[in-house]
Amino acid sequence: MDSSVNINSEIINFKQYLLSNTDILKDILSKLEKVSTKSREAFKSALTKDNRIDNQLLEINQSKTHGFAWFDTYRIGLRETLNWFTRLNNDNKSSEIDAAVTLFAFAEYLMQMRNGIMMSQSEIVRPSDLHLDDNDFEFMNDDSVRDLLEIGLSDKIKTVIVDSLDKDIHPSLGLNDETLDMIQDQFKKFTEEEILPHANEWHLKDALIPDDVLKKMAELGVFSIAIPENYGGLGMGKVAMCVVTEELSRGFLAAGSLGTRAEIAGELIRLGGTEEQKKKYLPEIASGNILTTAVFTEPNTGSDLGSLSTRAQLQGDDYIINGNKTWITHGARSDLMTVLARTDMNQKGYKGLSMFLVEKPRGNCEKPFPMEGMSGSEIEVLGYRGMKEYEIALEDIKVSRKNLLGEQEGNGFKQLMETFESARIQTAARAVGVAQNALELSLQYAKDRSQFGKQILKFPRIFNKLAWMAMETTVARQITLFSAREKDNDARCDIEAGMAKLLAARVAWSNADSALQIHGGNGYALEYPISRVLCDSRILNIFEGAAEIQAQIIVKGLLAR
């Protein structure tokens, strides 16, 4: 350890310490990789039957295997946090708070990996669940690692983080690109001027985000980010999408989620559509002329989409769709539905499903479903307002066979799965935006509120929470941006995208909860935006793969590697 750095001495420069001890962090990462491999191999041999992972055994060991998904999520999170700091530093852009956050993340997550990771408030996974024991964490007894833990967990490091936040210096985003910086800058401005001042009012009135705000977002290009240039889009890639999504969600979750629908429909058509379908719909989606809505979930099938029962039967040149759908976000004010329905009644599983592009007239609050055969009612919700959710009945809806995605039956589920990577990355970015919003609201409150003669920010129980929020938001953001970069480089990143979504959703909720706590009683008042952010943040663990399903997907991927 660098002898000039002593946690008990007055002056500690965390950046200096980190720079002279980077090797220790790298070494920790390589140790963790070995530990992870050991756990994975142990699970593989315990769960394998007849040369393959046995689903029944997997289910019996569900909590343990999901614990492994969390363990590896932490590991990849730390890896990407160190990579982020290193890149910043190579560009001469790292600051004290970046170093402090990195050290804090390593110390805290490492301790949790050795002692127990909270998968949720009521489930802790411990090393013994992962086929690991004390010997596997022996490296944590090295003097150098102990020093790191002491420094990383100290109140001092958290004071430094919060002092910096107090001066408005947050951890760097580390976008590393002038164009992305400019995009971030413009959307930050847009969010601060056009979204943030109204978000609470929209929420409390349970109103749709106004049409003119939608129009402005369309003009800025929000719906065209991921659509290729030759179909009227910008073809900008996932990193740009994350930057825009985080900023908009920081203002209002629904604002960052409008683009999700364009993203899902856009990806479905881009990857699964015929040339004619692409030419017809993609430019219209990109311009914002067509608003889309994703129609998959049914009253009896949520996580288990593969068994859904809405039917689409071919009659002549048309399909006739019948069934009940639910939880359809933006179901009324939209022009195109992507409907997942069963075309092969003999196939009970996902193989019998097909995806349809169903045009409909746009509805509004007074007349939500001005289409014959389509009816529905609004589902009142805690948060995530601004687009409205509906339960919908489809009765003898006629669509041309030309509107079967890819004009081939039986591919619906596969087509949907191909969009999951992008959708998860986008949802992770939404969660990071919400997490950041919670941090900023509580930081401001902690500065403004005094008790016992001083700013509450100065009490360890308050600044420790704030430092924690800044640290976890950074880890979640960096794993999200990592997945996005991988996706942009055409590298497979389904596991990392799932990890990003899994972690970011937990962080959004825990940030919102801590932020509300910092507000005391006022946090519980509807008037204070944090009460909305708490409601908004709660959804992120449920949709786009509930936390349990997400962990399941991750661990299946890990065990197949």
Partner 1 sequence: MKALVCVKRVIDYNVKIRVKSDKSGVETDNVKMSMNPFDEIAVEEAIRLKEKNQIQEVVILSIGTDKSQETIRSGLAMGGDRGILVKTEKDQLEPLTVGKIIKSVSDKEKPDLIILGKQAIDDDCNQTGQIVATLLEFPQATFASELKKNNDNTLEVTREVDGGLETVKINIPCVVTTDLRLNEPRYASLPNIMKAKQKKIDVLEIGSFDIDIKDRLQILEVNEPPERKPGIKVDDVDSLVEKLKNEAKVL
Regarding 41 and contact with partner 1 (CB under 8 A), the answer is no
Based on CB atoms, which residue is closest to ligand FAD, 457 or 539? 539
Q: Which pair of tokens denotes residue 488?
A: 């942009």
Q: Smallest distance from the beta carbon of 433 to partner 1, in angstroms?
A: 17
Q: Which of 120, 67, 39, 82 is nearest to 478 (CA)?
A: 82
Read off the DSSP letter of residue 38. H
DSSP letters for 168-226: T-PPP-----HHHHHHHHHHHHHIIIIIHHHHHHHHHHTPPPPHHHHHHHHHHTGGGTT
For partner 1, the binding residue among 7, 159, 221, 283 (CB under 8 A) is 221
Regarding 167 and contact with partner 1 (CB under 8 A), the answer is yes
Number of residues that bind partner 1 (CB under 8 A): 26
Separation of alpha carbons 1 and 143, rounded Å: 8
φ, ψ of residue 396 in degrees (nearest 5): 50, 45
Please answer whether residues 41 and 561 qualify as being in contact, where contact means their C-beta atoms are separated by less than 8 angstroms.
no
Site for ligand FAD in 254-313 (CB under 6 A): 294-297, 302-303
Regarding 378 and contact with ligand FAD (CB under 6 A), the answer is no
Please answer whether residues 342 and 297 qualify as being in contact, where contact means their C-beta atoms are separated by less than 8 angstroms.
no
Read off the DSSP letter of residue 332. S
Regarding 439 and contact with ligand FAD (CB under 6 A), the answer is no
At what angle are helices 96-115 and 155-166 packed, to 10 degrees?
A: 140
Separation of alpha carbons 152 and 197, rounded Å: 37
Regarding 179 and contact with partner 1 (CB under 8 A), the answer is yes
For ligand FAD, the binding residue among 124, 234, 271, 381 (CB under 6 A) is 381
x/- binding map, residues 83-102, to partner 1, per CB under 8 A? ----------x-x-------
Separation of alpha carbons 266 and 253, rounded Å: 20
CB-based closest residue to ligand FAD: 302
The residue type at 377: S
In the set 486, 527, 544, 548, the catalytic residue is 544
Based on CB atoms, which residue is closest to ligand FAD, 242 or 264? 264
Q: Which of 236, 323, 322, 233 is nearest to 269 (CA)?
A: 233
| Window contacting partner 1 (CB under 8 A); options: 67-75, 113-121, 168-176, 317-325 | 168-176
Q: Which pair of tokens denotes residue 362?
A: 């746009």
- Decide if 366 is catalytic: no
Separation of alpha carbons 523 and 502, rounded Å: 26
For partner 1, the binding residue among 169, 320, 379, 381 (CB under 8 A) is 169
The residue type at 433: G
Regarding 138 and contact with partner 1 (CB under 8 A), the answer is no
For ligand FAD, the binding residue among 190, 327, 369, 509 (CB under 6 A) is 327
Please answer whether residues 257 and 389 qualify as being in contact, where contact means their C-beta atoms are separated by less than 8 angstroms.
no
Q: Which of 57, 226, 106, 227 is nearest to 471 (CA)?
A: 106
| CB-neighbour burial class of residue 24 (10 A; exposed 0-12, middle 13-18, buried 19+) | middle
Regarding 222 and contact with partner 1 (CB under 8 A), the answer is yes
Regarding 26 and contact with partner 1 (CB under 8 A), the answer is no
For ligand FAD, the binding residue among 7, 19, 271, 549 (CB under 6 A) is 549
Q: Smallest distance from the beta carbon of 224 to partner 1, in angstroms?
A: 7
The site partner of 179 among partner 1, ligand FAD, none (C-beta below 5 to 8 Å per kind) is partner 1
| Window contacting partner 1 (CB under 8 A); options: 176-184, 273-281, 417-425, 532-540 | 176-184
Regarding 539 and contact with ligand FAD (CB under 6 A), the answer is yes
Based on CB atoms, which residue is closest to ligand FAD, 193 or 206? 206
Regarding 234 and contact with partner 1 (CB under 8 A), the answer is yes
For partner 1, the binding residue among 182, 314, 526, 560 (CB under 8 A) is 182
**Interface contacts to ligand FAD, rule CB under 6 A:** 294-297, 302-303, 327-329, 381, 384, 389, 539, 542-543, 546, 548-549
**Interface contacts to partner 1, rule CB under 8 A:** 93, 95, 167-169, 172, 178-179, 181-183, 185-187, 189-190, 219-222, 224-225, 234, 236, 240, 244
Catalytic residues: 544
